[in-house]
Amino acid sequence: MDTNNTNYTEEEKRSFESCADAFKNARQDATDKAKEAAPKIKGAIADAVFDMAYGAAYGTFFASAFANEFIPQAVKDGVAKGAAAGRGAAEKVQERARSASEEGHQDAGGTIELPTPA
């Protein structure tokens, strides 16, 4: 097969040149349009992300502030005391399990005393 372009007629060569020109022009046009559109798209995405983050933060903090104002102090105190008592009981169970595993034997089913509610 002859690798020279001598097999092509002048008209065929012009067709290939026009195809190459068409690809170059299309590439340049597409690049220009993309450079023009990119800032607008980036701005729209940034605005959407900001709006979603703002809405999520607002909703979260509004709900917590509303609940803080709406719930009576006695209920808040009861929840805090119950959480502290539960944490203390969990620590006792954890300590008993830790000491039992260090001694190498299982607990014989002893009871755990829980604090009485105030």
> d(Cα 71, Cα 40) in Å, to the nearest integer?
46
44 or 110, higher pLDDT: 44
The token pair at 60 is: 């979260």
The token pair at 16 is: 């290939």
pTM over 0.85: no
11 or 96, higher pLDDT: 96
pLDDT bin (cut points 50, 70, 90) of residue 47 is very high
pLDDT tens-digit series, residues 74-87? 888 899 999 999 99
**What is the DSSP annotation of 58-101?**
HHHHHHHHHHHHHS-HHHHHHHHHHHHHHHHHHHHHHHHHHHHH
